[in-house]
Amino acid sequence: MQNPHKLISLFTALLLIGAPVNAFADTDNGGPELYDFSLSRSVVSPGSTLFIGANGWDEDGIRSILLRFEEENTKTTLTVTLKTSAEGAEKECLCNGELSIPATAPEGVYRLKSASLTDKSGNRSLYRREEDIRDDDEEEALEEIPSFQVVKDPGTLSPLACQVERQDLSAGCSTALSLTLPQAPIGFDKATTVFWNPQNGRRLIYDIKEEDQVAAGVYRSELDIPDHEPQGSYILLKITVKDRAGESVTYASNGEEDSLPLPVSCSFQVGPQTGDNTPPALQSISIVESRSKGNNREYRVQVKASDDLSGVEHITLRFQNDQNDRSVTKVLTKDDRLGGVYTGWLQVSRYEPDGTFQLDNVALMDEAKNYQAYCRPADIKDWNHKLPLPQAVSFTLSGGVSQADENGPQLLSVAPSKESIDAGDDLTITAKARDDLSGVDSVKLQFKNAEGKSINVILKEKGSGYEGKVKSFQTKQEGTYRLTRATLTDKAGNRQVYTASPQGSQLPLPLAASFTIND
């Protein structure tokens, strides 16, 4: 037993040198506490990703949570590390992570086997299923055991029946829409049905979700007919069915690309009682002022328009420079309406070539989806059903620009300031880029590690290049992060995207860059 006089002497010495009385009491020697879990879905396919969250509490804040899931029959184990997403997280915080399901993962139910939590002081705590805890273990029992199911061949959720409870409807009313699906191991998530009116091309879209189930394989939702909907016959055009693993299949009657034949039929009729069949009317348009703002020249346009029943939904204006065939557009919505006038600022890049822009086209649509376009009288044709613009409107640019900037910037180099850093450290990224005319406006980079965790950084102009900082809260998860995407924009608004797997107008990354975060 220790000498009590020595303990008293030590306590007195601490007081004399100014040590706080509670110096020992504040030391955190306990591990974090674990609360509840959240999974993005309960059924997954091999090769997919599952997003997982867990709540915990610790005096110093939680650094990481390691989860181990085990399949009951094959004893296959899948692990994922959850990290807090916020810098300086509170004592109680949510940790998140992405569990990549291997392509070779066996089918079955994976239940949480253990959870290992580490706080920012290095203290750890371990939670296991109650049946796995031995009497001499200093472990906690899991109060909640989340699980998910891996299914390799979920089968195709092909609709068996689709039915509208009432076939004769009127604008503004509602009825029940039912969908019958086969029972499948992976389960149903959502179906989107599209009904089409061949007389006017209008479409009505309705969703049916998992929670709408009323019997085995039967789901029922509301089918609402919009106010002022034009009369006509609506037939089922297509159904897109999504399962709980995130996979979707589209069935269509019109031979749509990448779709299967629609195996069911369904229709209803909307009567003429209160239908809105008349499009909006354009009264006038004018430009009332202009101003310079950033990289743009702005013109304030005012439009007077009206609609008889449902009201104007949006107005699209297009101005065209006849010398070079370039155009600029502006969309006004009902939110831009004040006192019967629709007002907004039309933006034109200050790098746009000089010339005069004439009002070329105005298109109006009301809430009932009736549409009417107006154009210059010389452009009216029998087949386009357009009306003449009520007046000529134009504006002229004279900024001294002779050539249009139509090309996005080029990425020349990317260089992290260090090849390797510790978790929680900052990192500087520099880059060089060029643009042919207006100049580079922004550079955005994305880096990813092998687990799919991404780090995004925005670079600003500095000296002859561009520089950005990866913040400490972004570097919590270890791994080697490689450049996977670069998005560059010039001052004329042109955008160029480079990716590791380019699609469409994207370009392949012209260089490689990476850095490693050590735990």
What's the pLDDT score for residue 184?
A: 67
25 DSSP 8-state letter: T
What's the pLDDT score for residue 15?
A: 35
Residue 158 in contact with residue 251, Cβ under 8 Å?
A: yes
Of residues 64 and 20, more confidently modeled: 64
Q: Report the percentage of the chain scoring pLDDT > 90.
A: 47
Counting Cα atoms < 13 Å in the Cβ hemisphere of 69 gives 24
What's the pLDDT score for residue 85?
A: 64
Which residues on adjacent β-strands are paired with residue 329?
318
User: Topology of domain 161-270, per CATH?
Assistant: Immunoglobulin-like (2.60.40)
For residue 27, pLDDT over 50 is answered with no
> Could you tell me the pLDDT band of residue 155, with boundaries at 50, 70 and 90?
low
What's the pLDDT score for residue 76?
A: 94
Q: Report in angstroms the alpha-carbon separations of 464 from 8, 116, 433.
A: 66, 48, 9
| Average pLDDT rounded to a whole number, residues 259-266 | 89
> Could you tell me the pLDDT band of residue 254, with boundaries at 50, 70 and 90?
confident
CATH of span 410-518: 2.60.40.1930
At 516, phi and psi to the nearest 5?
Answer: -120, 135
- Smallest CA-to-CA distance from 324 within 361, 354, 359 is with 354
Say if domain 281-397 classifies as CATH 1.20.120: no
In tens, the pLDDT along 286-315 reads 999 999 988 889 999 999 999 887 789 999
For residue 21, pLDDT over 60 is answered with no
In tens, the pLDDT along 358-372 reads 999 999 998 888 899
Measured at the CA of 357, the angle between CA 354 and CA 363, to 5 degrees, comes to: 150
| Average pLDDT rounded to a whole number, residues 496-517 | 90
410-518 shares the fold of 33-150: yes
- Smallest CA-to-CA distance from 35 within 57, 51, 50 is with 57
How many whole angstroms separate alpha carbon 225 and alpha carbon 164? 12
How many whole angstroms separate alpha carbon 46 and alpha carbon 381? 56
Domain ranges within the chain, ordered by starting residue: 33-150, 161-270, 281-397, 410-518
Q: How many helices and strands (H and E) does the chain possess?
A: 1, 41
CATH, domain 33-150, list 3.30.1360, 1.10.3470, 2.60.40, 2.40.10: 2.60.40
Residues 6+ apart with CB under 8 A from 316: 329, 330, 331, 332, 361, 362, 363, 364
At 253, phi and psi to the nearest 5?
Answer: -95, -5
For residue 185, pLDDT over 80 is answered with no
Within 352-478, strands assigned E span 355-366, 371-375, 387-388, 394-397, 410-416, 420-422, 427-434, 440-448, 454-462, 465-470
- With tokens 């991404």, the residue in question is 454
